[in-house]
Amino acid sequence: MEKEPEQILAKSSLCKGMIKEEIQEILSQNGCRICHYDKGETIFLQGQKADRMFVLVSGKVVIAKVSASGKKSVLTCIETVGDLFGEIYLFIGKREFEMEAQAVVSTTVLSIDSRIFEKEADNSMAEIRLMKNLLQIFAKKAYLLNKRLRLLSAGSLREKIASFLLEHASEDGMVYLSMTKEELAEYMNVARPSLSREIGNMAEEGWIALQGKNILIRDLESLEDLL
């Protein structure tokens, strides 16, 4: 049974702290619809009109930048129910998406029209909470962008891998990879064969251990000494 839009938004950082009636107040302006995408299907293209934002209902979405030469660089993956993507463009005056979004698996999203955010403010509690939540979302994304820039600015491939592992490791030293090797290589802006080879070298040297698609950090000190 398909969930109602307010049930989806209740799990989203966009509507954190809101009660059902406040979410319904936001949705009452129309412009919200559920959209389904098959694996590999495009949600929006780079250069497409940016007049909607999206909330993940199920599945996984990869956000990527395509260069003029056609090279694709993965920026991030959206896979947590309730996570937003495409929302920044609604508030910075950009009329077109500067990246593309594609379904990695069968995916469902809630699409929200930008007009919901363009009406005259009435300072209701729902609107106050909505704006506060948006500020928190933008702040978190700015922080994550800074982390990505630090990774990309690392000198060698091994330094890039070390930076990624240290940023994503759990308390037990395990790095749970949600990205494929191809996506990870694109995220680090390196060639996949080079990435696989260097990860293999680090495993042989005892720095890390490969456990399925995940990576266990074995020599934390050596990784930290690289950075």
pLDDT at 30: 65
- Domain end (from 96, 125, 147): 147
Tally DSSP H helices, then E strands, for the chain. Answer: 7, 11
pLDDT at 1: 47
Mean pLDDT by 10 residues, the chain (227 residues): 70 84 76 89 94 90 88 85 87 86 94 76 73 86 80 84 90 88 86 94 95 93 88
pLDDT at 66: 85
Domain that holds residue 60: 5-147
Do 191 and 123 fall within a single domain?
A: no
Do 112 and 37 fall within a single domain?
A: yes
- Domain end (from 88, 119, 147): 147
Give how many domains the chain has, as a whole number: 2
Cα–Cα distance, 220 to 197 (Å, whole number) = 20
CATH number of the domain at 175, please: 1.10.10.10
pLDDT at 120: 63
Q: Are strands 52-58 and 32-37 parallel, antiparallel or unpaired?
A: unpaired
Do 64 and 119 fall within a single domain?
A: yes
- Domain end (from 147, 179, 199): 147
pTM assigned to the model: 0.66
